[in-house]
Structure 1
């Protein structure tokens, strides 16, 4: 039986966490569960439920049986942005070849690090859309990007620029006209772990594991105006299977592949 999802507050709720919990219930159509001094694990076990916790400063998402909660944090994006701002290369941006004013579709948003880099590259005149299939993950990341408090610029501006849409990639792509985005990007969750981020294991537990398909690639090619970019583990056969020109990076766990239009 698939677990339900409920919303609760922090252990000692105040008015802010109660308000945030109600907001999550309203937006996601979920039921509220009073904490009643129970641990999150206990609530999850008793109700066979995923649990969203509205804390004082952020939302945390505890998928059923997950080892750790998923929450929004800019993670590696902050370090990557600093390097790019200094004029250093970023492999993802090298593969995408984004220009100021371009439109970028991230089919697998996750925590949003790549989308933040894309937002920096395309500038205020550009457009960045991020798709997240799991509604709970999409909610956590959307609220996190809208409210995360940081004095680090241009990080804040990049976060606020991203439009997050809860949708499976193929479903969204099918609704778009041809050449709707300059670059279509995808980083599916394959079985190999390809991130070093602390929050990635939690994301693997929380997010949907969707395998690349011929239909997905075909729709991405149709919707992309300039190129389609794939990120995958260096052992992945998807590059050759779907016709991506692979950029082999000998010292990296992951590679990028490109299909030019």
Structure 2
């Protein structure tokens, strides 16, 4: 059973906050609850609900019981793209071998950093679709990608090119034709904690974490035209179990695995 989600505003809402609250209410079919000087934790307890706070310029998502909110910010992707611009290797792009005009399906969008790098690689002629199983996370990331403005203009344009869909990856894959996407990418949430960012921890708490299954891998291989790429903890046996060629990086806590058709 899905937990109720409610929408509220910052303590002293302005006109923009009220507009954002109304938008979230319509998109998520969720009730707006006036803040009335109550804390987010108090509202979550009263309504036994997840809480989305419409602030002055962004949404913050507090899954019930979470200490810190989840929100959209392209920090990680910006840092990684700067390294690419300097000519440094980006393991994800190496594993995916994306070309301009390619189609890329991200089965586990999360905060969207990997899809942002893929959008850079495929350019304006390519297509990026990101799937997110949790409706609230999908809404936060979709809205953020369409409205976040950064001084790094190329990054802004890459974000705008990503189509975010609230969907279970396996159910979505089952509806696709054979060889529908050049690259299919899967990054199931690790049981081991790697990311130290507060926002990644918030996502770990808020997200809908679906374990990798035989059926999911079979469908991904069917839908991919060229390759399937899997990201997993370096201790994972998924690579060997599902016949992915592992890119071993001795100092990395996670590896990429590639299945080439």
| 1:65 to partner: Cα distance | 0.3
Q: Does 1:260 align with 2:250?
A: no
| 1:82 to partner: Cα distance | 1.0
Matched residues, number: 261
2-side partners of 1:128 and 1:173: how far apart? 15
> 1:11 maps to which residue?
11
> 2:61 maps to which residue?
61
1-side partners of 2:202 and 2:136: how far apart? 13
| 1:154 to partner: Cα distance | 1.6
2-side partners of 1:78 and 1:173: how far apart? 29
Q: Does 1:243 align with 2:251?
A: no
| 1:131 to partner: Cα distance | 0.3
For residue 84 of structure 1, give the secondary structure of its aligned residue in structure 2. helix
TM-score when normalising by structure 2: 0.98
Q: Deviations over 1:208-234 (max 9, x none)?
A: 111000110000000000000000000
Q: Show the 5 A alignment for 1:1-261.
A: 3-261=3-261
2-side partners of 1:106 and 1:198: how far apart? 23
1-side partners of 2:241 and 2:253: how far apart? 19
1-side partners of 2:224 and 2:196: how far apart? 29
1-side partners of 2:2 and 2:157: how far apart? 38
1-side partners of 2:19 and 2:148: how far apart? 18
Structure 1, unaligned stretches of length 5 or more?
none
2-side partners of 1:2 and 1:258: how far apart? 34
State which drifts further: 84-93 or 250-259.
Answer: 84-93
Q: Deviations over 1:83-118 (max 9, x none)?
A: 112222100000000011100000000000000000
For residue 231 of structure 1, give the secondary structure of its aligned residue in structure 2. strand
| 1:2 to partner: Cα distance | 5.5
For residue 154 of structure 1, give the secondary structure of its aligned residue in structure 2. helix
Q: Deviations over 1:188-247 (max 9, x none)?
A: 012112324331001001101110001100000000000000000001111111111111
Q: Deviations over 1:173-199 (max 9, x none)?
A: 011111110000010012112324331
Structure 2, unaligned stretches of length 5 or more?
none
Q: Moved runs in structure 1, 4+ residues, more than 6 A?
A: none
**1:75/1:197 contact within 8 Å kept:** no
1-side partners of 2:82 and 2:152: how far apart? 9
Root-mean-square deviation (CA, aligned residues, Å) is 1.0
**2:66/2:202 contact within 8 Å kept:** yes
2-side partners of 1:143 and 1:152: how far apart? 18
2-side partners of 1:104 and 1:196: how far apart? 27
